[in-house]
Amino acid sequence: MSRRDKAAKLAAMPKDGPRTWPLFWALTCLTAFVAVWPAPLTYTAFRALGLAVALLTRWRDPRLRRRGRGVQRNMRLAFGDDLDDRGRRALVHAYGRHLAWLLLEVLRMRRLTPARARRWIDLRAFDEVRALLAEGKGVIVASGHMGNWELLSCAAGVMGFAQTVLARPLPEPGAERWLRAHRERSGQRVLSKFGGLWALKKALDRGGVVGLNVDENARDGLFVPFGTRLAGTNATAAHLQRVSGAPIVVLTCQRLAPERFRAHVWAVVRPDPGAEREAETARVMAEVARGLEAALRAYPEQWLWSLRRWETRPPGEAEGPDGLPPPAPV
């Protein structure tokens, strides 16, 4: 199925009809149940799920590696020789715990209020975003599947930021309805990533915040260094900056401890109005990628390692003797 066909299928899915009810209400009940548990108990209980995720990941990786995918293969592409086999195995186990805790935190997200956001999260990075908003051109937040990206956008919503975010619709309509309700409860406006850019441009014109995850593989994107290899990268953030003049902020929210987080600004990328269009797009997205790579290296267990980040390769590229793409040019 082509990407366009997948987008059409997702767009045609029922949003609130009878097909959504069983899973939607199951998730709603689970959320209500988990939300009242004490945090230390829930984080401890979900450690077992994290171990199961890590063991399943290690079991599946050899099969996925033969297809040019897999978590540990991605770790080799990200870190090269800086991480040996033992280090990758340890990172897989830390990653499994992160995924389990991420699921728990999404289930408990309904408890987020302005007071709890200030208590749970170091929000000093939001002050920098407010300073950029005062310039009057809006702000483009380029984030990724790092730390807890759902908590980041919901915290911004409850703290009063007028934000519009792009998100990939979930393939199961009941889960999509449940997650959309969670997101919209915080005040954020959520649009499908398969839509156009006009709504985002209008949000920036109104001086708002636009949120994008830019760490996924892009079949028709440009290639910029990420980790030790080139990676196909969606240039939507650069295109929006060119038509709006808004600064781009590379922003993530990492977990420091159970129910303790910190929002980080890794880079601020401003436009160069006099630059040639293609060169400027490449420069902007390379700077964004460097910011996200800094987040990845600082908190390596908190990235979504199952992403097919390096799947699309430049035309004519040949694999090396180790079966991996060649290193990115320095």
3-state DSSP of 86-126:
HHHHHHHHHHHHHHHHHHHHHHCHHHCCHHHHHHHEECHHH
Tokens of 30: 């689970």
Name residue 55's amino acid: L
Q: Please give the pLDDT value at position 192.
A: 83
pLDDT score at 215: 96
In the chain, pLDDT over 70 holds for what percent of residues? 94
What is the pLDDT at residue 10?
A: 46
Mean pLDDT for all residues in the chain: 91
SS3 303: strand
The residue with tokens 């959320």 is: 31
Listed as ranges, residues in the chain with pLDDT below 50 are 8-14
> In this structure, what token pair is assigned to residue 47?
């450690």
Q: Kindly state the DSSP code that residue 325 receives in the 8-state scheme.
A: P
Picking from 169, 107, 139, the residue whose alpha carbon sits closest to that of residue 251 is 139
Token pair for 26: 């199951």
Q: What is the pLDDT of residue 13?
A: 43
Written as one string, the DSSP assignment of 208-254 is -EEEEE--S--TTSEEEEETTEEEEE--HHHHHHHHH---EEEEEEE
